[in-house]
Chain A
Amino acid sequence: NAGVTQTPKFQVLKTGQSMTLQCAQDMNHNSMYWYRQDPGMGLRLIYYSASEGTTDKGEVPNGYNVSRLNKREFSLRLESAAPSQTSVYFCASSDRTELYGYTFGSGTRLTVV
């Protein structure tokens, strides 16, 4: 049982380049989330999708776009990467949070130079 799978695990981009972070879950969860983790700032929500076909902004959405391709997949796109987007990105999914909490992927470490 894979849970939440993120690709790639590591990426280095030049300023201005674009890329898409992929996330897929095999638990039939309705809700999916993208977070970024920076030292001393904990986890900050970028975007979330409460169900297939819906997406909403979180705390730090600027510079990012998302697509909920189907129930399994939720991708995060950086259209024009900036050094401030250097971070570790986590995808998570949930269904009935009160019972099971969130399930997290192993993260993507992104460096923008």
Chain B
Amino acid sequence: AQSVAQPEDQVNVAEGNPLTVKCTYSVSGNPYLFWYVQYPNRGLQFLLKYITGDNLVKGSYGFEAEFNKSQTSFHLKKPSALVSDSALYFCAVSPYGNNRLAFGKGNQVVVIP
């Protein structure tokens, strides 16, 4: 069965500083990997995905994520955080050919002005 670990409950970062949200996964075979963002009182919104190809994938709102197969990680990054990036971020994984996503517990990101 697939699983996702997001080790930090909350990430605090000053506005303008780089933002990193960590994710490690466990899955049989090649993974599909996703990041979602949830703003207060809203549903989850798709940010980016890794299916195959380049290990660095770019997504919405200036976010990117790096797939590292040897470390089974898929960390989310943004070079310069904005206050509006304050939200809950979820990493998700599914094995190749399977529609079922497993979600991590989520990371609360707080960007301090």
Q: Measuring CB to CB, which residues of chain A are less than 8 angstroms from any residue of chain B?
A: 4, 31, 40-43, 48, 50, 90, 92, 94, 96-107
What chain A residues lie within 8 Å of B96 (beta carbons)? 98
Q: Measuring CB to CB, which residues of chain B are less than 8 angstroms from any residue of chain A?
A: 9, 32, 34, 36, 41-46, 49, 51, 90, 92, 94, 96, 98-101, 103-106
Q: Which of A41, A50, A106 is the one whose CB lies under 8 Å from B105?
A: A41
- Are B34 and A105 closer than 8 Å at their CB atoms? no
- Interface majority SS (helix, strand, loop, mixed), chain A: mixed
Q: How many A-B residue pairs have CB under 8 A?
A: 57
Once the chains are docked, how many angstroms separate the CA of A74 from the CA of B20? Answer: 36
- Other A-B pairs, 4, CB within 8 Å; known A42-B104, A43-B103, A106-B43: A42-B103, A94-B99, A97-B32, A106-B42
Once the chains are docked, how many angstroms separate the CA of A50 from the CA of B105? Answer: 23
Of chain B, the residue at the smallest CB distance from A109 is: B41
Once the chains are docked, how many angstroms separate the CA of A56 from the CA of B32? Answer: 22
What chain A residues lie within 8 Å of B34 (beta carbons)? 101
- Are A50 and B99 closer than 8 Å at their CB atoms? yes
Q: Which of A97, A106, A107 is the one whose CB lies under 8 Å from B101?
A: A97
